[in-house]
Structure 1
């Protein structure tokens, strides 16, 4: 075996060994997100989000695919507010399936068909109902349409797992 390959193998083993977490990293303490809202920026909390969220080093990350406003049968209400409420209920069900709580959500991305300022109140109400004071970072993306024509809203999440 060449000397370069031996060094590569040894280096790889050392790197792999260093990357293995010890039993004390994630199990000895509850992982908490750190919310950051700099005073030098406009306060985003009345709009239902935080400027930034720091994820603990020990955390595992899960990505929840976009949840729309379909009920269990796949039916969609034509009403925007009903779809948003159902989408957050669906997000909550996905969190429950992961064994996660809303305060473990670090980032939301929401997609709104034909967004206008009148929809912000509905969005903010639903986010604050679900997340309380632990508001995740969030981005709203106005879109002309979503995957299913009657779909008006979709929310995806990045979650830190204990």
Structure 2
């Protein structure tokens, strides 16, 4: 019986989901805002740290003056880096947003656009930091991320 229990626990462990996202019921529901309160990983794999991705388009790093367009491009750039690891947005455990001259209007745009990238919940844990300026003149947003790549 003891061996059977050990085997069942081992099989359950193999089938257990490697990533967990939590939103405790005693806290407000963050999903309308495009994030989870916490995320964790329990499995063999590696963490992928992604540098801040801006809203700069292409190798020329063209920056639109439109905040929504920069958000879309920053998320596309993030997805490009994820693709290079054969990962999807759902593998991202944590994002940090830096938004120049943050406002409720900019937050609403972020919430709308993150839903286009994270088509399937859960959303990653998230921190938003309002800033007055970023590294390059004209940058309005920067998004960095930590993703988890399970060993296959």
TM-score, structure 1 length as denominator?
0.79
1:67 to 40, 53, 57: 53
Matched, 1:44 2:30: yes
Q: Alignment partner for residue 97 of structure 2, among 110, 135, 150?
A: 110
Q: Structure 1: state its 5+ residue gaps.
A: 1-27
The equivalent position to 2:112 in structure 1, one of 116, 125, 132, is 125
Please give the alpha-carbon distance, in whole angstroms, between the structure 2 residues aligned to 1:59 and 1:29.
15
How many Å separate the matches in 2 of 1:32 and 1:95? 18
Residue 52 and residue 33 in structure 1: after superposition, are their counterparts in 2 closer, same or farther (change >3 A)?
same
Q: State the Cα distance separating 1:139 from its structure 2 match.
A: 0.4
Q: Which residue of 2 aligns with 1:4?
A: none
| 1:154 aligned partner | 142
Equivalent residues, number:
136
Distance of 1:60 and 1:31 partners within structure 2: 15
Q: Distance in 1 between matches of 2:56 and 2:95?
A: 18
The equivalent of 1:94 in structure 2 is 81
Q: Is the 8 A contact 2:18 2:43 kept in 1?
A: no
Q: CA deviation at 1:57?
A: 3.4
The reply on whether 1:55 has 2:41 as its aligned counterpart is yes
Please tell me whether Structure 1 or Structure 2 has the larger radius of gyration of its CA atoms.
1
Residues 31 and 59, structure 1, Cα contact 8 Å, conserved in 2: no
State the distance in 2 between where 1:154 and 1:56 align: 28
Show CA shifts across 1:58-117 (max 9, x none). 221010000000111211001111100000000000000111111110000000000011
Point out 4+ residue stretches in structure 1 off by more than 6 angstroms: none
Aligned in 2, Cα 1:129/1:30: closer, same or farther, shift over 3 Å? farther
Q: Distance in 2 between matches of 1:140 and 1:128?
A: 16
Which residue in 2 is equivalent to 1:134? Answer: 122
Cα RMSD of the aligned pairs, angstroms, is 1.6
- Structure 1 or 2: larger strand share? 2
What is the CA–CA distance in structure 1 between the aligned matches of 2:115 and 2:16, rounded to whole Å? 23
Unaligned runs of 5+ in 2: 1-13
Seen in structure 2, the aligned counterparts of structure 1 residues 31 and 96 have a Cα distance that, compared at 3 Å, is: farther
Normalised TM-score (structure 2): 0.85
